[in-house]
């Protein structure tokens, strides 16, 4: 079955996973265990440690923002998979720096001191946002950006650069850059869309006609497993599902899995951009928690095509998707059925 054994790489000794309790980490840890790796999961809570232990991993307390807590976590590990990170739609980079940038540098230093042979970082294809040219036919030769519309993407770019620079003869570093990671019932991006639809607040931007690439969770985990043994040190690799899709078609499938129908309502791109700017200012002035319903990052992702090639990963990582978009939607629908008995 696609996705049931997403990591075919040979056992690599002890592998440390940061962010083990996150949306990606919770799937990555058991997949690595199933593939025969000795997995150490870095956790920050008793509940997360219990989940990691139940998956067959060795839980160990650590925090990427606390360098003193990292030496024990990386000791004896041959590979580090750095999946910890903070997400969000704020245009300010400041909230993301401690975890995404400083935390990554802390992990790199700890890994180098522990003589880790390979450091795999989960970057983000969103680091191309803000490109001066339309993102069509993009690949790893395109320079990463620090867009003003997304502090998250800007922080991922800074961390991405730090990981590449840290590559050397003693420790090879590889960056895996997925698109929108989807296919889980707890996908935070999908959850916000579901909430907006149920509240009657969902609006497509420009009819959702732009084409994008995305990354099913199984395909991402498969690529991370491949990167343990394959890939050139100091390089980044984009990872996507086969083919592109329109935003409208993609959201239609996601919402159907939740027993919902995509609304037809749409707002022109320029109007959405103006509204996002106004809401951003209002949120900052009033210091409201969370993100506005429409953000500059969301507008940027919806107003323009987002088409990137993952040909390098297919050549150098030997990556091929293990699940199709249609299979992913079907599996998500089956997962959501208990919560949506009318589906």
Please identify every residue annotated as catalytic: 152
Half-sphere exposure of 83 (CA within 13 A, CB side): 27
Using an 8 Å Cβ cutoff, are 45 and 70 in contact?
A: no
Cβ atoms 247, 206 nearer than 8 A? no
| Residue 61, φ and ψ in degrees, nearest 5 | -70, 135
Give residues with Cβ within 8 angstroms of 314, minimum separation 6: 320
CA distances from 170 to 125, 152, 166, 211, 234 (A): 27, 30, 10, 41, 12
Residues in the chain: 343
Residue closest to 85 by CA, chosen among 3, 164, 214, 175: 175
């Amino acid at each position: 079955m696609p996705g049931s054994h997403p990591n075919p790489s040979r056992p690599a000794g002890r592998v440390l996973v940061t962010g083990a309790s996150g949306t990606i980490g919770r799937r990555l840890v058991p997949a690595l265990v199933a593939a025969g790796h000795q997995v150490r999961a870095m956790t920050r809570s008793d509940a997360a440690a219990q989940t990691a232990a139940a998956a067959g991993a060795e839980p160990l307390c650590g925090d990427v923002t606390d360098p003193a807590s990292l030496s024990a976590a990386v000791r004896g590990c041959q590979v580090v998979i750095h999946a910890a990170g903070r997400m969000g739609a704020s245009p300010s980079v400041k909230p993301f720096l401690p975890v995404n940038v400083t935390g990554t540098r802390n992990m790199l230093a700890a890994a180098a001191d522990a003589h880790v042979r390979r450091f795999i970082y989960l970057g983000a294809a969103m680091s191309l946002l803000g490109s001066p040219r339309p993102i069509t036919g993009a690949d790893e030769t395109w320079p990463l950006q620090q867009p003003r519309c997304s502090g998250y993407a800007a922080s991922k770019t800074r961390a991405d650069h730090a990981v590449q620079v840290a590559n050397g003869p003693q420790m090879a570093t590889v960056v895996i850059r997925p698109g929108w990671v989807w296919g889980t019932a707890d996908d935070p991006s999908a959850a916000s869309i579901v909430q907006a639809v149920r509240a009657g607040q969902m609006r497509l931007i420009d009819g959702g006609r732009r084409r994008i690439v995305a990354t099913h969770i199984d395909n991402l985990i498969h690529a991370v497993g491949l990167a343990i043994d394959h890939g050139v040190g100091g390089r980044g690799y984009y990872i996507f599902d086969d083919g592109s899709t329109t935003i409208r078609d993609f959201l239609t499938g996601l919402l159907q899995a939740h027993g919902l129908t995509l609304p037809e309502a749409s707002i022109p791109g320029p109007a959405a951009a103006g509204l996002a700017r106004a809401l951003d200012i209002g949120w900052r002035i009033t210091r409201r928690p969370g993100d506005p319903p429409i953000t500059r990052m969301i507008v940027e992702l919806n107003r323009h095509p987002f088409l990137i090639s993952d040909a390098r990963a297919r050549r150098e990582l030997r990556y091929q998707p293990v699940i199709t978009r249609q299979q992913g939607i079907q599996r998500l629908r089956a997962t959501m059925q208990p919560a949506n008995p009318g589906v």
